[in-house]
Amino acid sequence: MEIVAQIFGIIGMICNILVFQQKTHKRVLIWQFFAASVFAVNYFMLGAVVGGMLNLVGALRSVVFFFKEKTNANSVWWLAFFICAFAISYPLAFFAFGTAPTTKNLIIELLPVVAMIVATISLRLGSARAVRGLGLISSPMWLTYNCFSGSIGAIASEILNLISIIVGIIRFDIKKNTSK
């Protein structure tokens, strides 16, 4: 079971890295959907319930923002819905799924919740540049959580994501501005 969970983590890592190398917002969302779906399986298999719940909601978030005209994704209600869904996963981990409310767990389980809220705000802003920029905030939070959850693929993913974000910023944001 552990090996299968780690394989899902590696597949999620590949999808997640591709997110930050996309030129368009729609392509960012497609890869985010795949990454979130695979990572949800990875985290649940490892017993990292908050990570699993957050990624399920994250997959839904990608679909809503992909079909933003049909879903009215720019509505503040969607932002509020996702922030609430992410926030609810935090107490659910402790009260419904039995995560021990130790000081360490209270802090570690909060990090990916904050990271997902930041990522949701970046998606609502509607540009690949915003996703890359705010990824510099959310990615270290996920990296810390992943170190405690034991997902090898997710740890590698966040290290590579940070590199990928920086490369994407250089390719699309800095070089674009210097070539004008």
- pTM score of the predicted model: 0.84
**Tokens matching residue 52:** 């699993």
Enumerate residues 6+ apart whose C-beta is below 8 A from 21: 164, 167, 168
How is the chain split into domains, by residue range? 2-178
| Upper half-sphere CA count for residue 25 (Cβ side, 13 Å) | 16
If one counts every other C-beta atom within 10 angstroms of the C-beta of residue 7, the result is 16
pLDDT digits (tens, 9 = 90+) for 75-107: 889 889 999 999 999 999 999 998 899 999 999
Backbone angles phi, psi at 102, to 5 degrees: -80, 165
pLDDT digits (tens, 9 = 90+) for 39-60: 999 999 999 999 999 999 999 9
As a whole number of Å, the CA-based R_g of the chain is 16
